[in-house]
Amino acid sequence: MRAKPPSKVDVKARVAHELNELVILTAYLYVAFGAITFYRYAVLRGVGVGLAPWGLPLIRALLVAKFVQLARAARIGEQFQAKPLIWPTLYRSAVFLAVVWILTVIEEAIVGLLHGRSILESVAGIGGGTPLQLIATMVLMFFIFFPYFGIRSLGEAMGENSLFRLFFVERREFRAVEPAIKQS
């Protein structure tokens, strides 16, 4: 028995959902990367360097968001679904950090080749160019991913629209769970 192909409505809904996810994640990452860029700007400004590439955080956020979506589509990081929320949150943060790191290395290698640099030269500049800056960048990325995946895990546990409703609908109109014991 063959599976029925998806209808045009299903495909449109799926595309709209994926685009919405991409926009939300891109916005979140842009705020995080923008804050890092602002911090770097402030530090460099203190030593007389006034360059702040404000467009780069947006481009980076869009690329990383797309990398995360591709990894999610490949079902990477879906272990620990039945465990306490800390485990899928930590696991996804680490796995997606690794996925983004690998894709970033590939991206930098391709861009370097297009600009006539060797792969080694291109990859050496990732994270700022020094081992300490690379480690700092990885730690920052982990802590950027952690709240995102924590909220996603919580949303999956509560139901698809529960968190949205908790944040954006008045609480008197929404009850996620009735209290088990009513106090008098």
pTM over 0.75: no
Same domain, 6 and 51: yes
Query: What domain range includes position 20?
Result: 1-73
Amino acid at 124: A
Amino acid at 4: K
If we measure between CA atoms, which residue out of 115, 114, 83, 79 comes closest to residue 96? 79
Helix, strand, coil percent values for the chain (each to nearest 5): 75, 0, 25
If we measure between CA atoms, which residue out of 68, 83, 35, 63 comes closest to residue 148? 68
Same domain, 46 and 80: no
Same domain, 153 and 65: no
Same domain, 2 and 19: yes
Boundary of a domain, candidates 49, 73, 97: 73
Residue 127 confidence (pLDDT): 66
pLDDT per residue of the chain (184 residues) written in tens, 0 to 9: 565 666 777 888 888 989 998 999 999 999 998 888 888 788 877 887 776 677 778 888 998 899 888 888 888 777 777 889 999 899 989 988 888 788 778 877 888 888 888 877 877 777 666 778 778 888 988 999 999 999 888 888 888 778 877 888 877 665 655 555 555 4
The answer for residues whose C-beta is within 8 angstroms of residue 38's C-beta and 6 or more apart is: 52
Report how many domains make up the chain. 2
Residue 184 confidence (pLDDT): 46
The answer for residues whose C-beta is within 8 angstroms of residue 79's C-beta and 6 or more apart is: 88, 91
Render the burial of 171-180: b for 16+ CB within 10 Å, e for the rest: eeeeeeeeee
Q: Say if 110 falls within a structural domain.
A: yes
Same domain, 40 and 60: yes
Same domain, 65 and 95: no
Boundary of a domain, candidates 73, 102, 129: 73
